[in-house]
Structure 1
């Protein structure tokens, strides 16, 4: 039997590499024949290599993953990659297309690969329903009030000898130092983590969703959902307390109005 082949399309090089490494571990027989940085390149690479499976980031510059899927419909099995879990759950409820949520988790990928292997074993044809793809595109449109896709979705940070992808919703606060920014997060299991990155706090603030993250001091930005309460301090300042962390951070007088009772 001819070994299965795959195309990985994502505009973030690190995420392509993470997925490639996971695939090499979980499906060694799968040959990665092409990687693409955007939708147009993905469509071109598909025509050049005709892979069995396409892993397509939904939100890519130039051409979306859904548009690429419409071009390859019926000729390859498609797995979509999305950063928006709350939208993806509804969009994929019909179960025809597989999807992975960024950052890709090994257990979720294993389940997806098991289904792909079974389809290939049974020689099931790839889905070729343009109507379903259009429905998917419609459902994946962010609802009113949702954060625009231009906001930062995760932060890359070195943790030990590995690079960790930290979803922004897990971040509880950011604190700047002379050369670095401390990223403090709380994972799904409740574990607390910290890492230093070189990106300045000012740069991060400009990329974060202002409805979720608020600067409370010239050197501190907090995730409002992680805040427990604020207590008054000296000289028109205050102390900020977290729901799940022992740290107490300063609130300068410039930002005290954010925590005034209505």
Structure 2
């Protein structure tokens, strides 16, 4: 059985975010939304869900500095994408929108006893300088090498890794994080950055489904739910069940590793 942690499933139109304990009266909170493409939901998280997360954080921590950090995966500029999807209109006093590719970096150790590929990974130093990190993602299914790839709160962390260090053939993406495969590298991502995240939110208002590998071109299937909790793996597992998707191998492997 997987490690159990509190998880909430609620109707999208009744979503009222209750932040994890780490966000209560925090001084600095980092929010990583899934907004890396110049398109709206369900390819990216809906503004309604992100707005409710920010409201809940502000209510629980009235004086906190809330840092919204994303790294885009497109040839479109960060500022252009954020304006197109409407993020600036959500910002109020004490909130900042930051480009992950422009932040100071730190080298993070992989805590896994058996790293898949990366024994260390580079990501913003800011993760170490806040009281609480949260992943706010969409639920997405793409196809890679003929197999489905489920993206939710854990896969959302890909946007934190600098393209300058992890690019391959395209400077716009993080091709190095696709080798030997995304499901395998996700195990390194979790064992490197996962422990910094006190919670995750998965927007399942619509499930995004792509016919191929493209994470910004596909169709939406109505589900009408939002999943949130204080453990990324449990949140993602629940989102898969709600979205009628098979539990990804990377989640099963990480749960097994965590129990050992």
TM-score range, shorter chain: under 0.3
Larger Rg: 1
TM (norm. structure 2) is 0.28
Higher relative contact order (CA 8 A, sep 6+): 2
